[in-house]
Structure 1
Amino acid sequence: MTTHELVAVCDACEAPIADGQGRIWIDYGKIMKQQEAVRTWEAETKAAAPPGTRTVVSYGDILSHPDAVRWCAHHAACDPDIDANAYSIEVHRLRTWADLAHWTAHLMGKPWLPATDWKKVLESAAHGVGTRINPVKRPIVHA
């Protein structure tokens, strides 16, 4: 029997997701829309700068930057879009800190990862707060 260091929590019902009962996932369609929105945002931001100058981004421009696409966690029975064109990780594959490190390294090779909020998934797991992936025992972070 494997000791679980991490637990996935369903976004819909807020209950832990048992092995074989759900996934952590992200919608490819939302990623594509976010990437297009970022390209548009960058073009509009750069268009405001005179040619040959550095682009200075205002605070208002920063606030208007498109949001990252949110990773979701759901039981199969709670999943609002079970048929979504999604990248999925079954929860049994994210039960230890080593699993989380492995998947992070794997995802870093995906060109679309910066369009997602995986950083928030990691931060919330490291601090034992939030949803999606949580430690069974609150970790000590030496940051």
Structure 2
Amino acid sequence: MSARELSIMCDACKLPVDDEEGYVWIDYGEINRYKTAFRAWEKETGTEPVPGRKVRSLMDVCNGPERVRWQAHHKACDPDVGAGSYTIEAERLRTWADLAEWTAQLMGLRWLSGTDWSDVLRSAAHGTGLRVTPVAPPTLNA
């Protein structure tokens, strides 16, 4: 096993999640609610015609539906154990390579853009992650 580079932090108790103790997850019901809200928002806001693209005002974009939040929990702390969810077990998300591989896999799912996965990635890269956080301060060459 490679050295642990990332830790999963429980949203409920704020303690690290050890292997086989928990996961990072997202609720399918919330994803479906987002899709419905997004379609309604698209109808309501309309678009300004610009050749080759759809354009919305910045205000419309800012007032769009809120993306679905990825969560991290110990099994014992999970507030909705019975929820239908997409789950990544903690032991499968321990290195930067794991995070890159999961991101590549998630990018194939149509619903990913309706989630805050980009926030999970960005906060991990900056060392400010509350769900996925680096063990040692990262070096970001952006």
2:127 matches 1:92: no
Per the TM alignment, residue 3 of structure 1 is displaced from its structure 2 partner at its CA by 1.3
- Write out per-residue CA displacement over residues 8-61 of structure 1, whole angstroms, 9 at most, x where no aligned residue: 000000000000000000000000110111111111111x75xxx346523331
Q: Specify the SS of the correspondent of 1:24.
A: strand
Bigger Cα displacement from structure 2, 6-15 vs 61-70: 61-70
Q: Specify the SS of the correspondent of 1:18.
A: coil
- Write out per-residue CA displacement over residues 73-109 of structure 1, whole angstroms, 9 at most, x where no aligned residue: 0000100001100000000000000000000000000
Q: Which amino acid aligns with 2:96?
A: W
Q: Specify the SS of the correspondent of 1:87.
A: strand
Q: Which amino acid aligns with 1:17?
A: V
Q: Find the counterpart in structure 2 of residue 39 from structure 1.
A: 39
Per the TM alignment, residue 62 of structure 1 is displaced from its structure 2 partner at its CA by 2.0
Q: Find the counterpart in structure 2 of residue 101 from structure 1.
A: 100
Q: Find the counterpart in structure 1 of residue 24 from structure 2.
A: 24
Structure-2 change in CA distance of 1:40 and 1:82 (3 Å): same
C-alpha distance in 2 between matches for 1:56 and 1:140:
36
Q: Find the counterpart in structure 2 of residue 131 from structure 1.
A: 130
5+ long unaligned stretches in structure 1: none
User: CA RMSD for the aligned pairs?
Assistant: 1.4
Q: Give the TM-score normalised by structure 1.
A: 0.92
Q: Specify the SS of the correspondent of 1:77.
A: helix
Percent of paired sites with the same residue: 53
Q: Find the counterpart in structure 1 of residue 63 from structure 2.
A: 64
Q: Give the TM-score normalised by structure 2.
A: 0.92
Q: Find the counterpart in structure 1 of residue 11 from structure 2.
A: 11
C-alpha distance in 2 between matches for 1:118 and 1:63:
18
C-alpha distance in 2 between matches for 1:116 and 1:29:
12
5+ long unaligned stretches in structure 2: none
Per the TM alignment, residue 129 of structure 1 is displaced from its structure 2 partner at its CA by 0.2
Runs of 4+ deviating beyond 3 Å: 53-56
Per the TM alignment, residue 133 of structure 1 is displaced from its structure 2 partner at its CA by 0.3
Q: Which amino acid aligns with 1:114?
A: S
Q: Find the counterpart in structure 2 of residue 117 from structure 1.
A: 116
